Each structure stands twice: as structure tokens, then as C-alpha cells.
Amino acid sequence: MTLILDAGGVSALAGQRARLAELLKRDLWPPVVPSVVLVEALTGDHRRDHATNRLLRMCQINPVDEELARQAALLRTATRRAGEIAATDALVVAQAAQSNEPNILTSDPGDLRSLAQNCATEITITPT
């Protein structure tokens, strides 16, 4: 199983040692974080971002390439709500669709479920 974090997932785990230990124990570590998620998860102020940066150092940060961006665009369009769904969410789901037994930890399960239902891969969406 592959754990994928969106910005809400990153925020929910930052500074939560007990949850991190549980995920490690369940062999769900390290999680995958698409690089675009950092835009939403960080402020740019190292003092405010300390716990988040500490968590991100333990994650696998994956770049967003053209192929992934195009797949995300297709998923977003397929929802018929492209104007309402964040591009970042679409990229997270597109990344998950390329993973083995993906499980996305998110604070926005509704939009991610809308995107995931258009994937050939079964994606588990777990609310924070």
C-alpha cells in the first residue's frame, strides 16, 4: 500500500509523533507527496514551517512532470467540475493512480473522491 499526502494530510501529520509511529508500524512509511503540495502546505517562513519541514524530510517528494499534469487535467475535466476542483487535488489523485494500492490522506475527501472515481486504479481516500 502506498500512502499519498495532500496538503491537509501533511498538516494533519506535522508534529504528530504518535500518528507517524502508527503509520510506520503499519508499513505505510514513507508517504509520497507530489511536489506541488508544498505550495499549499508551506508558508515560506521557516519558523512557522518547522514541523511541516521536519515531516517533509521523511517523505518521498515526487516531481510533477508533463505526463502527470496532463493526466490530472483529464481527471479534473472528467468530474465536470473542473472550475471548482483545485489543480493540486487533481495532481494528488493522478499521482495516486500511478501507485500501488494508493491511500490518500486528505482534509478534502469529497473533491478527491470525485477525481478518483474517474481512475482505473482503485484509490482509498482517508479523511484526516
Confidence of residue 5 (pLDDT cuts 50, 70, 90): very high
Domain that holds residue 29: 2-127
Report H helices in the chain.
7-13, 17-25, 37-41, 50-56, 66-78, 87-97, 109-116
Q: What pLDDT is recorded for position 12?
A: 95
The grid cell for 4 is 499519498
| Mean pLDDT on 87-109 | 96
Question: pLDDT tens across 38-86, in order?
Answer: 999 999 999 999 999 999 999 999 999 999 999 999 999 999 999 999 9
pTM of the entire structure?
A: 0.94
* 17 alpha-carbon distance from chain centroid: 19
Give the domain CATH number at 27.
3.40.50.1010
Number of structural domains the chain divides into: 1
User: What number of other Cβ atoms are within 10 A of residue 67's Cβ?
Assistant: 10
pLDDT at 16: 92
